[in-house]
């Protein structure tokens, strides 16, 4: 039963929400499934819902005018997409892409509810503000560690953050995927990974990179 499933997710992942807020979310939220590789949002898409992640993992990108992509951050269970909140509230189109990297379930909250939730439920208001704060700080951290550093330092930071975000030392990333995320060439990534391996920071296996730092 849909409502029962939604209620379980809300109780487990958002225990701070007051009972009345939980009730309105259970009544109105749509539980949606995505497979790995499916797009949740694309640049220019009209946002009709705010997205709450309840299972799986979502990767957010910023797309440049030339079609190049820049990795921003991951969303995990219990996280909300701050950008979907902004776009939904202001009825604007998305300026990012969001892709499921594994089987993922999300709760879609209709934009028609946003004003009411912000006005009537303090726990939702605080949740939205904390989501904005966390993502802003994370973007500043990424900028500090990527935009102003040499490519070898950027790669080292990228691998460290991937390991922390995904909670694993075995990173199933191809050289091409890393190159896209760092907006560089595959050849540069391969060369720098080889140097990192020689220094003992990683071990390159056939299908994954073992992070050792």
> Which domains does the chain carry?
2-146 (2.60.120.10), 150-211 (1.10.10.10)
pTM over 0.85: no
Length of the chain, in residues: 213
54 vs 183, more confident: 54
Give the integer Cα–Cα distance in Å for 145 and 141: 6
Sheet holding 58-63, edge to edge: 39-41, 97-100, 58-63, 69-75
pLDDT at residue 1, rounded to an integer: 44
pLDDT at residue 181, rounded to an integer: 84
pLDDT one-digit tens code per residue, 61-78: 887 666 677 788 889 999
What Rg do the C-alpha atoms of the chain give, in angstroms?
19
Is 90 exceeded by the pLDDT of residue 125? yes
Share of the chain above pLDDT 90, in %: 55
CA nearest to 190, candidates 180, 200, 176, 202: 176
pLDDT one-digit tens code per residue, 89-114: 666 677 788 999 999 999 999 988 98
Give the integer Cα–Cα distance in Å for 46 and 175: 33
């Amino acid at each position: 039963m849909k409502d029962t499933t939604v209620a379980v997710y809300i109780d487990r992942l958002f225990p701070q929400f007051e009972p009345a807020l939980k009730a309105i979310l259970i009544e109105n939220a749509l539980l949606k499934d995505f497979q790995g590789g499916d797009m949740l949002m694309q640049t220019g898409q009209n946002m009709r819902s705010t997205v709450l992640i309840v299972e799986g993992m979502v990767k957010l990108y910023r797309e440049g005018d030339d079609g190049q992509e820049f990795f921003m951050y991951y969303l995990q269970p219990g996280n909300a997409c701050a950008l979907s909140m902004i776009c939904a509230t202001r009825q604007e189109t998305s300026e990012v892409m969001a892709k499921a990297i594994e089987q993922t379930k999300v709760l879609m909250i209709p934009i028609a509810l946003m004003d009411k939730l912000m006005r009537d439920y303090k726990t939702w208001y605080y949740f939205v503000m904390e989501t904005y704060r966390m993502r802003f700080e994370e973007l500043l951290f990424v900028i500090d560690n990527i935009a102003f550093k040499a490519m070898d330092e950027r790669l080292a930071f990228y691998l460290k953050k991937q390991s922390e975000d995904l909670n694993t030392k075995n990173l199933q990333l191809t050289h091409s995927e890393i190159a896209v995320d760092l907006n560089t060439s595959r050849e540069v990534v391969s060369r720098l990974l080889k140097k990192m391996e020689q220094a003992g920071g990683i071990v390159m296996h056939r299908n994954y990179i073992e992070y050792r730092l």
